[in-house]
């Protein structure tokens, strides 16, 4: 089984990624790390612990991470994820557990050192924890097997979700993303170009009826689906974070290619933009695997099958 740490800012689709990853039973979770993002860190921690509690998976430990981006002010996404981050779906669940004492970035360093070349980081929130870890221990980039990041957009100019050319996770801490992309680690970017081809629609959700997660998925995605309806005319939830986990489960879902990618951190018009040099105009060594194609239907089908087990 592949050893992974999942770094989340739970978040509706982060919650779905946790369920999908654990129910796939093909990944060995060393732990889950949390970061400020969709909602403030305290809420992220609570949501993550509650999702694990609902699943009966309190054996998975949660390590709390960065409460703020490296440089900028915090940005949240209440209009997509609801006022509590998970569409108030677990309001009635009394929290029984707590986060671990160890700081997330230190847990990442320690785990990578212990499992050299064996650990995959799956990053589905802003990249603050990994940037801090790389600054503290630069050898981390050599110790990691791979880093799979949900973030950015590379070929669909104007179709960002935070600015016309910027995606939320990168926008929320662009300075951190820049550190990660230039760290020398084997980075793959699962961007909006492909995640926007993986909507879990209300029809898919109804297929879960009678299974363990039906109520949660339907309720948690309520605000998200309303938002998608207004913006994309789809009653569904884009599976950004689950697809990022899906790539670790099955490489066939995505076709990738390696290019030079950088992050804009200066321009107010393009802050957080991921710029891919497809034509090698800058003449730089490729540093990031980007996604060129997705088997969207195949992935969503696998997601539905896995969470309805
Ligand atoms: C990303 O931002 C968050 O809102 C989602 O959880 C996902 O990780 C999509 O842009
Ligand atoms: Ca997320």
- Residue of 85, 148, 169 with the most ligand 1 atoms within 8 Å of its CB, for mutation: 169
**Residue range(s) defining the domain that contains residue 275:** 2-308
Give the number of the ligand closest to the Cα of residue 152: 1
Cα 211 from Cα 196, distance rounded (Å): 26
Q: Supply the mean pLDDT for the chain.
A: 98
pLDDT in tens, 3-55: 999 999 999 999 999 999 999 999 999 999 999 999 999 999 999 999 999 99
So what's the pLDDT on residue 95? Answer: 96
So what's the pLDDT on residue 309? Answer: 85
Q: Average the pLDDT over 57-73 and give the result.
A: 98
pLDDT in tens, 147-184: 999 999 999 999 999 999 999 999 999 999 999 999 99
Ligand 2: distance of its center to the CA of 51 in Å?
14
Q: Report the CATH number at residue 303.
A: 3.90.245.10
Ligand 1: distance of its center to the CA of 169 in Å?
6
Residue 233 has pLDDT above 90, yes or no: yes
Residue 260 has pLDDT above 90, yes or no: yes
Q: How many domains does the chain have?
A: 1
So what's the pLDDT on residue 292? Answer: 98
Ligand 1: distance of its center to the CA of 159 in Å?
14
Residues 3/119, Cβ–Cβ less than 8 Å: yes
The pTM of this model reads 0.98
Cα 201 from Cα 221, distance rounded (Å): 10
Q: Which of 27, 254, 192 is nearest to 120 (CA)?
A: 27
pLDDT in tens, 92-146: 999 999 999 999 999 999 999 999 999 999 999 999 999 999 999 999 999 999 9
Residues with CB under 6 A from ligand 1: 11, 13-14, 38, 77, 80, 124, 150, 161, 167-169, 240-241
Percent of residues, the chain, with pLDDT higher than 90: 100
């Amino acid at each position: 089984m592949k050893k992974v740490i999942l770094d989340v800012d739970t978040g509706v689709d982060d919650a779905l990624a946790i369920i999908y990853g654990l129910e796939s039973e093909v990944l060995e979770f060393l732990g889950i790390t949390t970061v400020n993002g969709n909602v403030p860190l305290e809420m992220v921690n609570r949501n993550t612990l509650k999702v694990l509690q609902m699943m009966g998976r309190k054996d998975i430990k949660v390590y709390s991470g960065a409460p703020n981006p490296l440089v900028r002010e915090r940005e949240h996404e209440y209009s997509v994820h609801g006022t509590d981050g998970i569409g108030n779906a677990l309001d009635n669940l009394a929290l029984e557990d707590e986060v671990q004492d160890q700081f997330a970035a230190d847990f990442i360093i320690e785990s990578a050192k212990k499992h050299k070349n064996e650990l995959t980081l799956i990053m589905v929130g802003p990249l603050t924890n990994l940037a801090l870890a790389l600054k503290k221990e630069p050898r981390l980039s050599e110790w990691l097997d791979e880093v799979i990041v949900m973030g950015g957009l590379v070929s669909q100019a104007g179709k960002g979700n935070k600015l016309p050319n910027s995606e939320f996770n990168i926008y929320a801490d662009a300075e951190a993303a820049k550190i990660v992309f230039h760290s020398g680690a084997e980075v793959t970017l699962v961007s909006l170009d492909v995640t926007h081809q993986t909507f879990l629609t209300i029809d898919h959700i109804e297929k879960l009826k009678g299974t363990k997660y039906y109520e949660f998925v339907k309720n948690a995605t309520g605000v998200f689906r309303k938002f998608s309806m207004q913006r994309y005319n789809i009653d569904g939830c884009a599976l950004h974070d689950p697809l990022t986990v899906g790539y670790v489960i099955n490489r066939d879902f995505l076709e990738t290619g390696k290019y030079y990618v950088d992050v804009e951190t200066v321009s107010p018009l393009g802050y957080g933009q991921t710029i891919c040099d497809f034509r090698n105009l800058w003449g730089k060594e490729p540093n990031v695997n980007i996604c060129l194609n997705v088997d969207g239907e195949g992935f969503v089908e696998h997601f539905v099958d896995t969470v309805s087990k």
